[in-house]
Amino acid sequence: MSRALVVLLAVLLTGRAEAQGIRPLVKYGKWVLAAGAVTMNVLAAKAHERGDETFDALERRCLDNHALCDLDASGRYLSPESEELYQASLGYDRRARRWLIGGETALLGAAAMLIWELTGKSHRPDNIPFEPEVRSLRGATGVGVRIPW
């Protein structure tokens, strides 16, 4: 698996995209990063939802029996089950935060690659039969067509 990934990466880094003259890493990498950003944000939403569900279970437990939610001097729950639910909720929230940071980083990378691609040098094809021409004249704008002979 890792060898195939290394070979694919080497091909992407050394190959050329003929249509736009940019490296395939930029051309296709921005879409991979955008898909990764969407996926990581979906995973962040799922982790946040699981954290909410776990904390809701802790709240229901506390409402049913207040003694199960007593705290010691350090701020931890005296009941091991309540402390376990609370720590699980914190764990899901940390996981959601990591997924969000990764997703936003991937989105930033995709945007940077898109800008890089759009600002790159583009080569005009030689087979354009009629090239429109716009000139700025004194007090007017001239529009015409140039026909190469």
Q: What is the pLDDT of residues 92-114, one digit of tens each?
A: 999 999 999 999 999 999 999 89
> Which residues have CB under 8 Å from 43's CB, separation 6+?
99, 103
Angle 16-20-24 (CA atoms, 0-180°, nearest 5)?
40
Q: Is the pTM of this model over 0.75?
A: no
Residue 39's nearest CA partner among 89, 105, 93, 111 is 105
Please report which confidence band the pLDDT of residue 18 belongs to, taking 50, 70 and 90 as the band edges.
very low
Domain ranges, ordered by start, for the chain: 2-146
What is the spatial distance between Cα 144 and Cα 131, in angstroms, rounded to a whole number?
9
Q: What share of the chain is helix, strand, coil (3-state, %, to 5)?
A: 65, 10, 20
Please report which confidence band the pLDDT of residue 73 belongs to, taking 50, 70 and 90 as the band edges.
very high
In the chain, the percentage of residues whose pLDDT exceeds 70 is 74
Exposure class string for 67-94: b at 16+ Cβ within 10 A, else e: ebbeeeeeeebebeebbebbebbeebbe
Question: At residue 82, does pLDDT exceed 70?
Answer: yes
H-helix or E-strand containing 22? none
DSSP classification of residue 138: T
